[in-house]
């Protein structure tokens, strides 16, 4: 125990003397309140830590003394084996260094604290006993679980962090991105070029300046770490071959219907042992790690939602390129995945629609008390394609009282029969303004 306390002492001392990196600014609005825990959750490498550094720099710019801000990364190997009761050492050692700060408001940032079982009781005790604002980060959706929310007695505000949105992507690359999507011809060409790069390279902050070959390798490593740390180790998964087969299938078939029964049969034909229950579990683990997002059918009937395949989207379109393995990319599926991520960033509950005649509507969601139907289609230049996409929207819209209909394309723009046709770059900028 003495050795562990010495490790913790050195850990706190290093944290207090650390020089914070200066991050590029994100647009993420972190939910915060003076007596509540701020929770940043999302897939690894999406920028949660750098968002903490951004907030810390903002605090010092407002005049908060450096010694009243403490950032601790719980993935440090010196904390391996730290128990929930030993977490108290961290704050005891901090206040021993700065006793006057007990009378001042302090700001504590705990990165990946989910690695310590029982951390939520420690966090609640701090909120109750000290004058602190606490921000925690984690790469598991279980930070949103009912059990943790109950333990914290409703004193947690959660912000999901995703890879860069299109506006942030442009800013990272030195492009001016006006909110209204209005550009001259030259600027519009640069925006379209950026849109193409964004579609294929994705928005993970750490790979933005990398050559394509290096970016591909790094993104593959991101997925490997997620599978190892956030799925296999966290959930105790033993059927690793089935997990990798499922992950590879989802990454190579984005925005398509996924049936556990059908995929189970595929694994059996390949001689890979796995039960359907295990596949349901694995898909849930990938969702928990923010790597995959299953979307259900829009239907009032629970049974109908259960029996229909779910569509699965991935955390970033760059991952689709990294795992394409020479396959011809489905541009429409990538575009659809991009649209899903833009909606999810807004915290919208998204489903997909299916008309009685079998025509699909990609996205159905409610915003501002109004239903919205959105199709993602690479091009509606061909009359039959335009007619198919608009027909599905209008048939589904006929059953809804107040609804807007939009087709998001790569380049096409216009309006037909009350349906707005909007190029993706303009739609994305509108959604992030």
Per domain, the residue ranges of the chain are 2-161
**pLDDT above 70 (res 156):** yes
pLDDT at res. 326? 66
Q: Which two tokens stand for residue 282?
A: 């694995």
Whole-angstrom Cα distance, residue 175 to residue 62? 28
Largest CA distance in the chain: 75
Is 131 in contact with 94 (CB distance < 8 Å)? no
Whole-angstrom Cα distance, residue 42 to residue 318? 16
120-136 as b/e: b if 16+ CB within 10 A: bebbbebbeeeebbbbb
Q: How many Cβ atoms from other residues are within 10 Å of residue 7's Cβ? A: 18
Is 294 in contact with 287 (CB distance < 8 Å)? yes
Whole-angstrom Cα distance, residue 34 to residue 46? 26
Whole-angstrom Cα distance, residue 194 to residue 262? 38
Question: Average model confidence (pLDDT) for the chain?
Answer: 92
Whole-angstrom Cα distance, residue 48 to residue 138? 8
Q: Which region among 149-163, 213-227, 347-361, 375-389 has the lowest average model confidence (pLDDT)?
A: 149-163
Q: What is the dihedral of CA 149, 153, 159, 161, to 10 degrees?
A: -40
Is 375 in contact with 392 (CB distance < 8 Å)? yes
CA-nearest of 87, 26, 18 to 51 is 26
Is 335 in contact with 424 (CB distance < 8 Å)? yes
Whole-angstrom Cα distance, residue 219 to residue 202? 10
Is 322 in contact with 333 (CB distance < 8 Å)? no
Q: Which region among 13-27, 133-147, 151-165, 343-357 has the lowest average model confidence (pLDDT)?
A: 133-147
- 203, with CB counted inside 10 A (0-12, 13-18, 19+), is buried
- 308, with CB counted inside 10 A (0-12, 13-18, 19+), is middle
Report helix, strand or coil for 110: strand
Average pLDDT of the residues in 149-168 = 88
Q: Which two tokens stand for residue 393?
A: 């929207």
Is 204 in contact with 219 (CB distance < 8 Å)? yes
Q: Which region among 28-32, 131-135, 147-151, 163-167 has the lowest average model confidence (pLDDT)?
A: 147-151
Average pLDDT of the residues in 323-337 = 84
Whole-angstrom Cα distance, residue 329 to residue 339? 17
Portion of the chain with pLDDT greater than 90, in percent: 78
Backbone angles phi, psi at 379, to 5 degrees: -150, 140
Q: Is 169 left (phi over 0), alpha (psi -120 to 50) or beta?
A: alpha
Strand partners, 258: 310
Whole-angstrom Cα distance, residue 38 to residue 125? 15
Predicted confidence (pLDDT) per residue in 255-279, tens digit:
999 999 999 999 999 999 999 999 9
Q: Which two tokens stand for residue 330?
A: 């489905």
Whole-angstrom Cα distance, residue 53 to residue 137? 12
Helices vs strands, H then E, count in the chain: 17, 14
Strands 132-138 and 256-258: unpaired
Report helix, strand or coil for 76: coil
**pLDDT above 80 (res 178):** no
pLDDT band at 216 (very low <50, low <70, confident <90, very high): very high
How long a stretch of residues is the chain?
A: 433
Average pLDDT of the residues in 10-22 = 93
Q: What is the dihedral of CA 220, 221, 226, 229, to 10 degrees?
A: 150
Q: Is 271 left (phi over 0), alpha (psi -120 to 50) or beta?
A: left
**DSSP 8-class letter at 18:** P
**pLDDT above 80 (res 2):** no
Higher-confidence position of 182 and 88: 88
pLDDT at res. 296? 96
The residue ranges of DSSP E strands in 139-251, in sequence order, are 156-160
Strands 106-111 and 360-367: unpaired
Give me the architecture of the 2-161 domain, per CATH.
Answer: 3-Layer(aba) Sandwich (3.40)
**pLDDT above 80 (res 396):** yes
């Amino acid at each position: 125990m003495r050795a562990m306390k010495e490790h913790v002492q050195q850990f706190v001392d290093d944290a207090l003397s650390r020089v914070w990196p200066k991050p590029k600014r994100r647009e993420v609005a972190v939910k915060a309140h003076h007596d509540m825990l701020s929770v940043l959750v999302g897939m690894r490498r999406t920028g949660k830590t750098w968002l903490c550094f951004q907030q810390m720099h903002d605090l010092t710019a407002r005049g908060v003394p450096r010694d009243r801000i403490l950032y601790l990364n719980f993935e440090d190997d010196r904390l391996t084996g730290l128990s929930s009761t030993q977490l108290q050492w961290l704050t005891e050692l901090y206040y021993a260094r700065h006793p006057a700060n007990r009378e001042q408001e302090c700001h504590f940032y705990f990165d990946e604290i989910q690695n310590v079982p029982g951390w939520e009781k420690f966090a609640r005790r701090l909120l109750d006993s000290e004058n602190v604002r606490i921000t925690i980060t984690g790469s598991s959706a279980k930070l949103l679980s009912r059990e943790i929310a109950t333990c914290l007695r409703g004193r947690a505000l959660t912000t999901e962090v995703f890879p860069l949105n299109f506006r942030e992507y442009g800013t990272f690359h030195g492009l001016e991105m006006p909110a209204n999507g209005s550009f001259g011809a030259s600027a519009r060409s640069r925006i379209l070029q950026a849109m193409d790069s964004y579609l294929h390279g994705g928005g993970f902050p750490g790979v933005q300046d990398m050559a394509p070959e290096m970016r591909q390798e790094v993104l593959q490593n991101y997925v490997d770490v997620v599978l190892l740390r956030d799925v296999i180790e966290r959930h105790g998964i033993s059927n690793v071959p089935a997990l990798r087969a499922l992950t590879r299938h989802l990454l190579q078939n984005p925005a398509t219907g996924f049936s556990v029964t059908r995929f189970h049969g595929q694994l059996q034909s390949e001689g890979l042992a796995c039960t359907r229950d295990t596949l349901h579990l694995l898909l849930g683990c990938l969702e928990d790690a923010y790597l995959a997002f299953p979307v259900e059918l829009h239907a009032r009937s629970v049974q109908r939602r259960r029996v229909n395949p779910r569509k699965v989207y991935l955390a970033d379109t760059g991952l689709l390129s990294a795992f394409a393995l020479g396959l011809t990319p489905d541009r429409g599926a990538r575009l659809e995945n991009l649209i899903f991520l833009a909606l999810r960033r807004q915290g919208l509950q998204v489903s997909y629609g299916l008309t009685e005649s079998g025509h699909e509507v990609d996205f159905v969601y409610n915003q501002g008390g109004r239903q919205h139907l959105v199709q993602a289609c690479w091009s509606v230049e061909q009359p039959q394609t335009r007619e198919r996409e608009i027909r599905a929207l209008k048939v589904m819209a006929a059953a809804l009282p107040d609804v807007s209909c939009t087709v998001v394309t790569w380049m096409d723009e216009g309006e037909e029969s009350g349906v707005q046709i909007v190029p993706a770059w303009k739609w994305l900028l509108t959604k992030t303004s």
